[in-house]
Amino acid sequence: MPSDLNAPAFAPRRRALLHWMSAAALPALGAGALAQDPSRPIRLVVPFPAGGPTDALARLAADGLAAQLKQPVLVDNKAGAAGGIAADYVGRAPADGLTLLVAGQGLMFINKPLARGRKLGYDPDADFAYAGMLGSFPNVLVANPEAVPAQSLQELLAQARANPGRISYGSNGVGSLTHLSIELLASAADVKFLHVPYQGAAPQMADLMAGRIGFTLNGVQSVLQQIRAGKLRALAVTTATRYPELPNVPTLVESGFPALDLPVWFAVYAPAATPAPALARLREALSTLTTSPAYRAELGKRGAIAMPLPPAASEALFARERALWAEAVRSTGASAD
């Protein structure tokens, strides 16, 4: 039989048989095998422009994953629509383990309640499978010392109680993580601040430095130089433990607000239908990378910290985050409109 099929007269039959054998093999190989093809790059889709802290975190992870998987890993920046463009893109991508989303609280747990029942271009609860945590950034509550002469968080809160609604703070917009985090603090402390939303961090920081607003929350690396120069005063950090480069600045938790452990984290997600072998390969690679001393050291240089979160433990955190930010959106009346 093999010699007959190799004869010229049987060439069409041989091609048909080979085509049928290849097609039959594809379901058995599955998309997991495609993800292991070293000639096909993996894309980490970042919902922010290049150059920011999330982009830097994604590029660090991309380099480490490429070395581990022996496969190109590219960063693809797709900013816009509060991250919705990137999420919609990955949610609709082939579930082959090659197109992944870098996402945090905003995309996964804030945008949906902000939409107030209107459909997003993606469903954060159904479209994605968790693969691993890249790391987290501490936010720091910083005040302009001339606009808000508070030496501590307790003094800031006391001044707010004496002057309800008069001490102003800036945010990146209504419903942003900064806005909701500060309102969670205000609610827990039973005080009222004046919210001044901005379209972006740059104009907000310009007004803070000029004293036109009193305080804000910002990524610690973005304001560390101004803190050290005495131009801004750090009153608290949002992580459960103190930030090593600001050892004298307490956390919100140790300042009397145990529920306000509010790190800014970023995780990797794959499309929900990604086959188990491809997802397991990715999870193993991310776990190995993000628990390595070298990766942790590089995180520190970028102002980030490791936040190990195995898939089995992820649901507990995500259930807390889902409830926390939904309640923050509800209580503030924030909307995507």
| 185-210 average pLDDT score | 95
DSSP 144-169: -TTT---SSHHHHHHHHHHSTTTSEE
| Helix 311-332 and helix 177-189, axial crossing angle in degrees, nearest 10 | 70
**159 pLDDT higher than 70:** yes
pTM over 0.75: yes
| 242-259 average pLDDT score | 95
Q: What is the CATH number of the domain that holds 322?
A: 3.40.190.150
Do 65 and 125 belong to one domain?
yes
| 257-276 average pLDDT score | 96
Q: In angstroms, rounded to a whole number, what is the distance separating the alpha carbons of residues 217 and 234?
A: 10
pLDDT at residue 35, as a whole number: 53
Do 120 and 149 belong to one domain?
no
Q: What does residue 218 show for φ and ψ, rounded to 5 degrees?
A: -150, 160
Q: What is the total count of domains within the chain?
A: 2
Contact 172, 204 (CB under 8 A): yes
Mean pLDDT computed over every residue of the chain: 88
Residue 199: pLDDT band (50, 70, 90) is: confident
**329 pLDDT higher than 70:** yes
Instruction: Report percent pLDDT > 90 for the chain.
Output: 79
Do 103 and 126 belong to one domain?
yes
Do 163 and 231 belong to one domain?
yes
Do 195 and 57 belong to one domain?
no
Do 161 and 131 belong to one domain?
no
Q: In angstroms, rounded to a whole number, what is the distance separating the alpha carbons of residues 311 and 181?
A: 26
Question: What are the pLDDT digits (tens) for 97-118?
Answer: 999 999 999 999 999 999 998 9
**42 pLDDT higher than 70:** yes
Do 46 and 128 belong to one domain?
yes
**239 pLDDT higher than 60:** yes
Three-state secondary structure of 76-124 = EECCCHHHHHHHHHHHHCCCCCCEEEEECHHHHHHHHHHCCCCCCCCCC
> Which residues of the chain form beta strands (DSSP E)?
42-46, 73-77, 99-103, 128-137, 139-143, 168-171, 194-197, 215-219, 233-237, 264-271
**204 pLDDT higher than 80:** yes
pLDDT at residue 37, as a whole number: 67
Residue 269 lies in a domain: yes
**217 pLDDT higher than 90:** yes
Of 76-85, 185-194, 295-304, give the range with the top mean pLDDT.
185-194
Q: In angstroms, rounded to a whole number, what is the distance separating the alpha carbons of residues 55 and 76?
A: 9
Do 77 and 222 belong to one domain?
no
**16 pLDDT higher than 50:** no
Do 271 and 133 belong to one domain?
yes
Residue 61 lies in a domain: yes
| 258-268 average pLDDT score | 95
Residue 17 lies in a domain: no
Residue 308 lies in a domain: yes
Residue 251 lies in a domain: no
Do 132 and 143 belong to one domain?
no
Residue 247 lies in a domain: no
Do 118 and 153 belong to one domain?
no
Kindly state the tokens that stand for 67: 């070395």
| 157-184 average pLDDT score | 96
Task: State the pairing for strand pair 99-103/264-271.
Answer: antiparallel
Strands, sheet with 194-197, edge to edge from the N-terminal-most edge strand: 194-197, 168-171, 215-219, 139-143, 233-237
Instruction: Report percent pLDDT > 70 for the chain.
Output: 89
Q: Which domain holds residue 320?
A: 35-137+264-332
Final residue belonging to a domain, choices 218, 237, 256: 237
**2 pLDDT higher than 90:** no
Q: What is the CATH number of the domain that holds 224?
A: 3.40.190.10
